Amino acid sequence: MARGVKIRLAFDTYKLSYRMLGDSLLALGGASLLLAITRNGVRPAVFGVAAALVGVWLRDMPSSVIMRSSDEVLDQVRRTLDLMSVGYNSDGDSVRIRSTGTIVRVQPLGPVALLTFQMSDPSSGRERYLARTLVSYQRFAQ
């Protein structure tokens, strides 16, 4: 191995995205439907359809649960925007990004926080990039 090479596994434990939760429910729903087909059961079929529907609904929600306090999450959102030199206006538990109109809201969920993006144009590459970056930079929150 080359000198100075360090390799280790990467585990993210600071966040739980609704997309990931939705994908998990979709997989669970699919497995339940398969079980219903092979066992000819009604209950697994009902559960499978319900889980898949909730999964589809959740995976499109631009929200993530961050395993930190809401104050830390909001501070980190502001620090990340400062690092990007992107202008914003703060208003209580939310931040409005001036160039895109995106509203970033941080709500306490007990000891953790819900980070939600209200996009002016959900198909905008800029807004999706902002959401991805502001969530991924939560790993640096203290």
Partner 1 sequence: MTTTVTTYDAGVQAEAVINAPAQRIFDFLTSPEKIPLVMPSLIENTNLPEPPLQEGSEFTYRYQMYGVILEGSWIVTALEAPTRYEARTTGAGDSLWKYSLTESGGQTTVALSVEYRTPQSALQRFQTAVVQTMNQREADVYMANLKMVLEMQDA
β partners of residue 113: 66, 108
Cα–Cα distance measured from residue 116 to residue 98, given in angstroms and rounded to the nearest whole number: 17
Name which of residues 4 to 23 contact partner 1 (CB under 8 A): 4-10
- Part in contact with partner 1 (CB under 8 A); list of ranges 28-36, 40-48, 77-85, 103-111: 77-85
Instruction: List the one residue from 39, 71, 87, 122 that touches partner 1 (CB under 8 A).
Output: 87
CB 36 within 8 A of CB 49: no
SS3 category, 47: helix
Instruction: List the one residue from 49, 54, 84, 114 that touches partner 1 (CB under 8 A).
Output: 84
The answer to the question of residue 123 lying near partner 1 (CB under 8 A) is no
Cα–Cα distance measured from residue 99 to residue 113, given in angstroms and rounded to the nearest whole number: 25
The answer to the question of residue 119 lying near partner 1 (CB under 8 A) is no
Q: Using the 8-state DSSP alphabet, how is residue 12 labeled?
A: -
Interaction site with partner 1 (CB under 8 A) = 1-10, 80, 83-87, 97-100, 125-126, 129-130, 133, 137, 140
